[in-house]
Amino acid sequence: MYMKAVLLKSLGERPSITDVEEPIERDGWIKLRILRSALCYRDILTYKGMFPQAKTPLILGHEFTGIVSGDYPEYGFSNGDQVLTLPYTYCGECEYCLTGRENLCRRREWYGEHIHGSHTEYILVKPQSIVKLDINIDPNYASIASCVIGMIINGIDNAGGVEEGDKVLVTGASGGVGIHALQIAKAYGAETIAVTRSEEKAKFIEEASPDHIIVGGEFAKEVKKLGGVDMVIESVGEPTFNQSLRSLKWGGRMVVIGNVNVKNVDLQLGLIILRQNSIYGTLSSTRKTLYKAIKLYRLGKLRAIGMEMKLTDFDKAVEKMESGESRGRIFLKP
Ligand SMILES: [Zn+2]
Ligand SMILES: [Zn+2]
C-alpha cells in the first residue's frame, strides 16, 4: 500500500509530495493514521539544512494528532483511540528524562528529523510519545498541543511563570506561536500586548483578544508608555530582539522561542546587568506541559487559530509561511 508524503530526498533540497510505502507495524512502535499535521517553521529550517543531523530520505513534520491503527494491549492503546503526541522519542533513563525534562534528553529523536515525521497519512510512533485523549479535542488544537502550546507553557514555566496582572508582550503576534502565546498569557490572567508589522495583521490578531496591539518595528517606546512589561515572549528572534529587551521593566524576563533568520543578536550587557533582566531559552514541550495544554483546553481558555490546507498543498503552505501571508498555524489535512 502506498500513501502520500512530504518527502525530503536530501538536505538543502525542496521536499515534494511523493508516493511512499505505508509503514509496516513493528515491535515497540504504534501505527497512527494522521488526522492533522501542522506546519512548523522548523520544517523549513530542516529542509534548508540548518539541522545537519537530519537523516534523509525523510518525511517531514512533527506537530500532529492521529488515530491508533490496530490493537496494542501491552501499551494500553486500542484501534480508534485518538492521541496527542510529543514531537520526539526519548530514552527514559538519563538525568533529564528522570527529572521530567525529557525535552533535553541527549538520546532524543525528533519525528521529521531523525525519524519519519507526520506530513503523510500513516506514521509509526513510540508509545512514550503519545497520550490518549478522554475528551474530544479539535484536531487542529490537538496537533499543536505539544510543539506550540506545550512549548510556550514550558518557556513561561522556565522563566518563573506569569502571575495574574503581569504584563506580557508577544512579538510576531499573528504567527502560529504568537497568536497562541497571547491566548496562553491571557489564560494565566496577564494583561497582553501584541506586536505586529501591519494593520492588516493587527486585525487578525484581534481573534486572540489582546489588551493592546502595537503596529511597527520600533515598539519599545510605546510599550514604555504602558509601563514596560514583566515578560516578553519573543517569537521572531533577531529582528525584534533588541526592541523586546528594551520593552522589559527592571527585573523583567524574556522567553526566546523564534529564530526566523538564524542571525546573531547584538546584546548590550548593561540592559541585563544593571536592570537585572533575564533571557530564557525554551526547547519544545514535555509530557507535563502537554498535560497543561489539555487542561487549559478543557477549561475553555484556548483554541487553535490558523488556516486549514490540504497536505498535497504543502508547497503553497510553505510559500504562505515564508512570505508572511499565513495567519496563525497552518494545519495540513491528509
Ligand atoms: Zn514545531
Ligand atoms: Zn533521556
Where helices occur in 40-161 by DSSP H, the ranges are 41-48, 139-144, 151-158
d(CA 254, CA 332): 31
Q: How far is the CA of 7 from the centre of ligand 2 (A)?
A: 28
Which ligand is in closest contact with the Cα of 284?
A: 1
Per-residue pLDDT of 182-231, as tens digits, reads 999 999 999 999 999 999 999 999 999 999 999 999 999 999 999 999 99
CATH number belonging to the domain at 2-148+284-333, selected among 3.90.550.10, 1.10.3720.10, 3.90.180.10, 3.40.50.720: 3.90.180.10
**Mean pLDDT score of the chain, rounded to an integer?**
96
- Adjacent-strand bridge partners of 33: 67, 122
Read off the pLDDT of each residue in 33-44 and give the average, rounded to a whole number.
Answer: 96
Residue 153 has pLDDT above 90, yes or no: yes
Give the ligand with the smallest distance to the CA of 285. Answer: 1
Predicted model pTM:
0.95
Angle at 119 between CA 115 and CA 124, to 5 degrees: 45
Beta strand 212-215 with 248-256: parallel, antiparallel or unpaired?
Answer: unpaired
Which whole number is the average pLDDT over 21-40? 97
pLDDT value, residue 323: 92
- Specify the CATH class of 160-281 in words: alpha beta
For residue 134, pLDDT over 90 is answered with no
What pLDDT does residue 195 have?
A: 98
Residue 75: which pLDDT band, with cuts at 50, 70 and 90? Answer: very high
Residue 57: cis peptide before it, omega within 30 degrees of 0: yes
Domain boundary assignment for the chain: 2-148+284-333, 160-281
| pLDDT-derived band at 333, boundaries 50, 70, 90 | very high
Ligand 2 midpoint to CA 284 (Å): 14
Grid coordinates belonging to 49: 539544512
Q: Cα of 195 to ligand 1 centre, how many Å?
A: 21
